[in-house]
Structures are given as C-alpha cells and as structure tokens.
Amino acid sequence: MYHNPVLLKQSVDDLVTNPDGIYVDCTFGGGGHSREIVSRLSENGKLFAFDQDLDALENKLDDPKFTLINQNFRFLENSLLMYGVSQVDGILADLGVSSHQFDEADRGFSTRSNAPLDMRMNVMQSLDAKKVINEYDEEALADIFYYYGELREARKLARDIVHHRKTKTIETTEDLKKLFSYLPPHKVNKFYAQLFQAIRIEVNQELEVLKEMLVQSYNILKPGGRLVVISYHSLEDRLVKRFLKNGMFEGEPERDIYGNYKKAFELVKSKAIIPDNKEIEENSRARSAKMRTGIKV
C-alpha cells in the first residue's frame, strides 16, 4: 500500500501551467501525483517520473504521455538528456518516505516492526543501516544523530552503541531499540522517530541527494518553469527554503551597491503551504508536510 499523495491538488495546481509542457515527478512512489499531472496534460504533454525503488515499477502508468525512469533523482539531468530532454516546464518532488516502504516490515524503516537493520530506498546499494550502526566510529555516529536526528544526547547514544557492539553485532531494529530501554515511556516514540530518521538520512544520503536535485532542477527548468517541493522535516525544508530564496544552501549571495541580489526563483507564496485538518485526519503522514513553490526567474 502506497500512501495517499500529500497536498495533491495544491501541488499539481502550482505545477501544471501549460498542458502541452514537459514535467517531472521526482518521486513516483505509488503514482498518485503522476496520475493527477498526466490528467492535466494534452496529448502533446509529457511526464517523466523517477523512482529508484524497484517496487514502484509495479505502479507504472499505462499512458503514452508517461515515462518512468528507475533512477535516483540525483541523476535527473543526465537521465532526461538520454530521452533528448534538456529543458522542462515544471518539477515536483514529494520527499516523504512512502507508506509502502514503512509497511514493508523487512525494509527496516518502521520503528514498530522488528526487522533487519536496512533502511535502503535502493536495495541494490551496499550501504545499509546495519553497516552504519556497526561500523561507523563514535564521532561519526554522534554527528549523524545530532545533525540528522536533532538529538541533543547524540554523544551518549553513540557511546552506548559502540560499547554494546564490542560484544555483539546489532542486527535488527529491536536490537537497536533495546539499547535505549532506559528511556521514560513518554519520550520513546519521538526519540525512536528521530533516531530512525537520522540513520535513514545517512543510509540514503538524503540531504546531499536533495541538494543535487535542486541544483539540477534550476539548470533544466525553463525561465518561468516551476519547482514544487513537499518536505517533511526541518532539515529538508531549510535547504529548500534557502535554495528557492537565493539559489544557495549556505552563505550569502553577492549584492550590488544597492543591496540587491539576483534571485533564483520568485516564490508563489511567501509562506509554506501545509495540509488542512481534513487531510491530516485522513492521512496522518501529511501532518508534518510543507510545500514550497518557486518560479524560475
């Protein structure tokens, strides 16, 4: 079961402004956003969708306007060039992990199931959660927990893991959770969510991949083309917000003598769009979603 597409109408309304245009769905998943995009296109329009998860191929749309590319969206630019596409009218990226991936217990994404430490979105890659937990040194683990999980007790967590694995390999999600059984019950759910998020981001290099995708999106969007990004935690949203503001992830852009700088995008709305209460009731995973849309200057 793939999740219901989050902010479906709002995102596709922002994205598709030319029915004859070429569009990209960076995160195909169950195909919910792609189906809606294709429904808005004329027979001349075209949608290219990306997904590195082999399971997503089963949801491929049977439509001549649609092409599914089994690749990580970090290869956006080169993959489209292979289809003769160098410029597009709009790009959508829903950065959430699909319900399908959480619900497949043996993938190790969920804090609720006992599963091998895996968390790979692309099952063909060699780096998995087991390697991260059992082979990274204490300092590297602490940095991952602190920066990707925003866990203040990161150093202690890393120390506990390194101490335990000296005598026994940490094989499963339950093995990992048992190390922190001393936590008070009211803190457990949030803690595990942050811990698993941190490991998942490292395994899949999610923030680096996001940066690469954003830069390539700017390169291939036509002037006036639209970039729509739905993010689910502050680390992603900060990167998206900064990039849409000035085309950079850190530092400040060069300003002219009047204090002005060259904008990369015009924002469609100054504040992020969030799901309403009705959508959150129907789909709890929409709770933390934020959508930002920029028009390439």
Q: What is the pLDDT of residues 130-162, one digit of tens each?
A: 999 999 999 999 999 999 999 999 999 999 999
The boundaries of every CATH 1.10.150.170 domain in the chain are 125-205
276 annotated ligand binder: no
Task: Return the bridge partners of 24, or none.
Answer: 48, 91
The SS3 of residue 186 is helix
Does pLDDT of 187 surpass 50?
yes
Is pLDDT larger for residue 224 or for residue 107? 224
Does pLDDT of 2 surpass 60?
no
Query: Whole-angstrom Cα distance, residue 114 to residue 45?
Result: 45
Enumerate helices (H) and strands (E) in the chain, giving the number of each: 12, 7
94 annotated ligand binder: yes
pTM of the model: 0.91
What per-residue confidence (pLDDT) applies to 122?
Answer: 85
- The owner of tokens 């759910």 is 189
What per-residue confidence (pLDDT) applies to 221?
Answer: 98
294 annotated ligand binder: no
51 annotated ligand binder: yes
Report, in this order, helix, strand and coil percent for the chain, each rounded to 5.
45, 15, 40
Query: Whole-angstrom Cα distance, residue 223 to residue 228?
Result: 15
In contact, 32 and 54? CB cutoff 8 Å = no
Q: Supply φ then ψ for residue 139, to 5 degrees.
A: -65, -40
The boundaries of every CATH 3.40.50.150 domain in the chain are 8-99+207-296
The SS3 of residue 194 is helix
32 annotated ligand binder: yes
100 annotated ligand binder: no
Tally Cβ neighbours within 10 Å of residue 80.
Answer: 21
Buried-state track 150-171, b at ≥16 Cβ within 10 A, e below 16 = ebeebbebbebbbebeeeeebe
31 annotated ligand binder: yes
In words, the CATH class of domain 125-205 is mainly alpha
Architecture per CATH, domain 8-99+207-296, reads as: 3-Layer(aba) Sandwich (3.40)
Q: If you average pLDDT over every residue of the chain, what do you get?
A: 93
Kindly give, in sequence order, each residue whose CB lies less than 8 Å from that of residue 232, ignoring residues fewer than 6 positions away: 95, 96, 285, 288, 289, 290
Does pLDDT of 176 surpass 70?
yes
